[in-house]
Structure 1
Amino acid sequence: MDTLLLSRIQFGANISFHILFPTITIALGWMLLFFKLRFSVTGERKWMDAYMFWVKIFALSFAMGVVSGITMSFQFGTNWPGFMETVGNVAGPLLAYEVITAFFLEAVFLGIMLFGASRVKPWVHTLATFLVAFGTTMSAFWIIVLNSWMHTPQGYELRDGVVFATDWWAIVFNPSMPYRLIHMLLASGLTVAFLIAGISALRLLWGDRAESVKTTLRVGIVAAAGLIPLQILAGDFHGLNTLEHQPAKVAAMEGNWETGPNIPLVLFAIPDEEARENRFEIGIPNGASLILKHKADGVVPGLNDFVAEDGTPLHPRVAPVFFSFRIMVATGMAMLALSWAGLYLLRRYGAGAMPDVPLYAFAAMSFSGWIATLAGWYTTEIGRQPWLVQGVLSTKDAVSDVPSGMVLSTLIGYLVIYAVLIVAYIGVITYLARKASRGEPLSSRVYPRGGEAEVAALHAGE
Structure 2
Amino acid sequence: MNLSALDLSRIQFAFTVSFHIIFPALSIGLASFLAVLEGAWLRTGKRHYKDLCVYWSKIFAVGFGMGVVSGVVMAYQFGTNWAGFSSFAGPVTGPLLTYEVMTAFFLEAGFLGIMLFGWDKVGRGAHFGATVMVAVGTLISTFWILASNSWMQTPQGIRIEGGHVVPVDWFKIVFNPSFPFRLAHMAIAAFIVGALVVAAAGAWHLLKGRRDPAVKTMFSMALWLLLLLAPIQALVGDQHGLNTRKYQPAKIAAIEGLWETEKGGTALNLIGFPDMDAEVTRYAIQLPHLGSVILTHSWDGEIRGLKEFPKEDRPDSSIIFWTFRLMAGLGMLMILMVFIGLLLRRGGRLFESKWFQRFVLAMGPTGFVALLAGWVTTEAGRQPWVVYGVLRTADAVSPVTAQAVGVSLMAFVIVYCLVFGTGIYYVLRHLHQGPDSPDAARRLLALPDMDQTGRRPLAAVE
Residue 27 of structure 2: aligned partner: 25
* Residues 30 and 133 in structure 1, CA contact (< 8 A), matched pair in contact too: yes
Q: CA deviation at 1:146?
A: 0.3
Q: Which moved more, 1:406-415 or 1:128-137?
A: 406-415
Residue 2 of structure 1: aligned partner: 4
In 1, the alpha carbon distance for the partners of 2:220 and 2:77 equals 42
Q: Does 2:323 align with 1:324?
A: yes
In 2, the alpha carbon distance for the partners of 1:275 and 1:363 equals 42
Q: How does 1:14-413 map to 2 (within 5 A)?
A: 14-261=16-263, 262-307=265-310, 312-351=311-350, 353-413=351-411
In 2, the alpha carbon distance for the partners of 1:337 and 1:290 equals 22
- Corresponding residue SS for 1:59: helix
* Residues 24 and 192 in structure 1, CA contact (< 8 A), matched pair in contact too: yes
| Paired residue type of 1:349 | G
Show CA shifts across 1:222-246 (max 9, x none).
1111101100000000000000000
Residue 451 of structure 2: aligned partner: none
- Corresponding residue SS for 1:313: helix
In 1, the alpha carbon distance for the partners of 2:272 and 2:330 equals 18
Show CA shifts across 1:122-165 (max 9, x none).
00000000100000000110000000000111110111221000
In 2, the alpha carbon distance for the partners of 1:212 and 1:432 equals 15
* Residues 325 and 376 in structure 1, CA contact (< 8 A), matched pair in contact too: yes
Q: CA deviation at 1:427?
A: 2.3
* Residues 154 and 174 in structure 1, CA contact (< 8 A), matched pair in contact too: yes
Residue 453 of structure 1: aligned partner: none
Q: CA deviation at 1:435?
A: 2.7
* Residues 52 and 435 in structure 2, CA contact (< 8 A), matched pair in contact too: no
In 2, the alpha carbon distance for the partners of 1:55 and 1:112 equals 12
Q: Which moved more, 1:388-397 or 1:338-347?
A: 338-347
- Corresponding residue SS for 1:296: coil
In 1, the alpha carbon distance for the partners of 2:364 and 2:423 equals 13
| Paired residue type of 1:230 | I
* Residues 214 and 435 in structure 2, CA contact (< 8 A), matched pair in contact too: no
| Paired residue type of 2:340 | A
In 2, the alpha carbon distance for the partners of 1:191 and 1:75 equals 27
In 2, the alpha carbon distance for the partners of 1:437 and 1:185 equals 27
Higher relative contact order (CA 8 A, sep 6+): 1
* Residues 218 and 346 in structure 1, CA contact (< 8 A), matched pair in contact too: no
Q: Which moved more, 1:10-19 or 1:290-299?
A: 290-299
* Residues 55 and 435 in structure 2, CA contact (< 8 A), matched pair in contact too: no
Alpha-carbon RMSD: 1.7
* Residues 252 and 318 in structure 1, CA contact (< 8 A), matched pair in contact too: yes
- Corresponding residue SS for 1:399: coil
Show CA shifts across 1:95-123 (max 9, x none).
10000000000001000000001100100
Superposition TM-score, scaled by structure 1 size = 0.93
* Residues 66 and 420 in structure 2, CA contact (< 8 A), matched pair in contact too: no
Residue 448 of structure 2: aligned partner: none
- Corresponding residue SS for 2:194: helix
- Corresponding residue SS for 2:166: strand
In 1, the alpha carbon distance for the partners of 2:67 and 2:435 equals 27
In 2, the alpha carbon distance for the partners of 1:371 and 1:190 equals 12
In 2, the alpha carbon distance for the partners of 1:28 and 1:216 equals 12
In 1, the alpha carbon distance for the partners of 2:66 and 2:362 equals 23
Residue 423 of structure 2: aligned partner: 425
Structure 1 runs of 4+ aligned residues shifted over 4 Å read 437-441, 459-462
In 2, the alpha carbon distance for the partners of 1:326 and 1:257 equals 18
Residue 454 of structure 1: aligned partner: none
| Paired residue type of 2:355 | V
| Paired residue type of 1:10 | Q
Q: CA deviation at 1:437?
A: 6.2
- Corresponding residue SS for 2:347: helix
Q: CA deviation at 1:403?
A: 1.2
Show CA shifts across 1:10-58 (max 9, x none).
0000101100011111121111100011111111111111111111111
| Paired residue type of 1:175 | P
In 1, the alpha carbon distance for the partners of 2:90 and 2:415 equals 30
Q: CA deviation at 1:429?
A: 2.3
* Residues 85 and 396 in structure 2, CA contact (< 8 A), matched pair in contact too: yes
- Corresponding residue SS for 1:163: strand
| Paired residue type of 1:393 | L
* Residues 189 and 367 in structure 2, CA contact (< 8 A), matched pair in contact too: yes
Q: CA deviation at 1:84?
A: 1.1
Superposition TM-score, scaled by structure 2 size = 0.93
Q: CA deviation at 1:421?
A: 4.0
Structure 1 residue runs without a partner (length 5+): 445-458
- Corresponding residue SS for 1:383: helix
Q: CA deviation at 1:416?
A: 2.5
Q: Which moved more, 1:292-301 or 1:110-119?
A: 292-301
Q: Identity of counterpart residues, as a percentage?
A: 44
